[in-house]
Amino acid sequence: MPIETHPLTPHFAARLTGIDARQALSRQEVAAVEAAMDRYAVVVMPGQDITDAQQLAFSRNFGPLEDGANSGARDTELRLPTVFADVSNLGKDGDPLERDNRRRLAALANRLWHSDASFRAVPARYSILSGRIVVTSGGNTEFADMRAAYDALDAATKAEIEDLVCEHSLVYSRGQLGFSEFLTDERAPMKPVRQRLVRTHPVTGRKSLFLAAHIGTIVGWPRPEAMAFIRDLMEHATQPEFVHVHRWTQHDLVIWDNRTTMHRVRRFDDLNVVRDMRRTTTRCDSPTVAQAAE
C-alpha cells in the first residue's frame, strides 16, 4: 500500500495512510512519518488497532522514550507501566476515577494549552497518542501551530522575545487550576527548568514559540509582568486560525511534535463514560538552553 499524506489544513496537521503501526517499520516508513511531521507537525494515522507492545515498538522509531510521566500518582495506583502516560480517566479497576481523585484533579491541567514535558530539562519531541476507547461527546484534542503563531508576530515582538528564557514546572500549570496538593516526594522533579521561548526546528530551520501552561515566569523579569506577557502570547498563539481540532475515532494514532505545537483536551463527561487513551512520548536530543540535563 502506498504511503499517502492528506493535509487537514493547508499547512498544519495531516492524515497519513499506508503504514501499519503494528508491524516493524522500514527506514523509508520512518522517514515518511518524520517528513510529514516536519511539514505538518500533527499526523493522524487512522485505523491503528495496536497493543501496548506495538505502540512501544512503533514509538521507539522516533527517539528514546520518556518514562514516569504519570506524576501525581503513586506507582501502585497506576493502570499502565510508567513508560506510558495514562491519559485515560480510568483507575486500576478500569472504572472512571472518582470526582476528588488526586490523579484526576492533577490531570485536569491537560485542559490548559501546553506542550508535553516542557517541564523537563530535555523536553519531549513527539507524543504518540492511541485512542483505544474514545468518547462521542466532548474529549476533542485541539492543536495549535506554534510556527504559524511565531510567523504572525510583528518584527518588534520577534526581536524582543528572541533570547528570552522561561521557567516551566508542573507546579505552575496545576497551580493555575488551584491544584497544590503535591506529595513531598513529588516536589523534587517539579523544580522549574529553563526553556527558550523561541525554538528553531533542527530540520526545517523554522522558528516557533515554545509556550505551555507550565510556564511560571520569564528569567530576569518580574513575575507578574512575565505572566501578563505570556498570557498575551498564549492568546495570540491559540487564535482559531492557528488551531486544528481533532475529533477522535477509535484506533486513531495521533502524533504531534511538542517542539512546534501546543495542545489541550476538551471537557467530557469523565465521571461516567470511559475514555481510554494511551500516550508514549519521545525525548529531544538536548535541552533548549545550556543547563544540566535531568
Query: In the complex, which residues of this chain contact Fe ion (CB under 5 A)?
Result: 116
Q: Which is nearer to Fe ion, 117 or 148 (CB)?
A: 117
Burial of 169 (0-12, 13-18, 19+ CB in 10 A): buried
Shortest Å, Cβ 290 to Fe ion: 26
Shortest Å, Cβ 209 to Fe ion: 17
Q: Which is nearer to Fe ion, 32 or 279 (CB)?
A: 279
Shortest Å, Cβ 145 to Fe ion: 16
Is there a contact between 244 and 42 (Cβ–Cβ < 8 Å)? yes
Of the candidates 30, 84, 47, 3, which has an alpha carbon nearest to the alpha carbon of residue 254?
A: 47
Q: Which residue is nearest to Fe ion (CB)?
A: 116
Q: Which is nearer to Fe ion, 116 or 167 (CB)?
A: 116
Rg (CA), the chain: 18
Q: Which is nearer to Fe ion, 21 or 213 (CB)?
A: 213
Cα–Cα distance measured from residue 248 to residue 117, given in angstroms and rounded to the nearest whole number: 23
Shortest Å, Cβ 214 to Fe ion: 10
Of the candidates 46, 110, 54, which has an alpha carbon nearest to the alpha carbon of residue 250?
A: 46
Return the C-alpha cell found at 34. Answer: 518524520
Shortest Å, Cβ 259 to Fe ion: 14
Q: Which is nearer to Fe ion, 61 or 127 (CB)?
A: 127
Cα–Cα distance measured from residue 49 to residue 1, given in angstroms and rounded to the nearest whole number: 17
Of the candidates 84, 105, 270, which has an alpha carbon nearest to the alpha carbon of residue 173?
A: 105
Positive/negative CA dihedral, 26, 27, 30, 35:
negative
Shortest Å, Cβ 141 to Fe ion: 8
178 Rama sector, left if φ>0, alpha if ψ -120 to 50, beta otherwise: left
Q: Which is nearer to Fe ion, 116 or 276 (CB)?
A: 116
Is there a contact between 16 and 45 (Cβ–Cβ < 8 Å)? yes
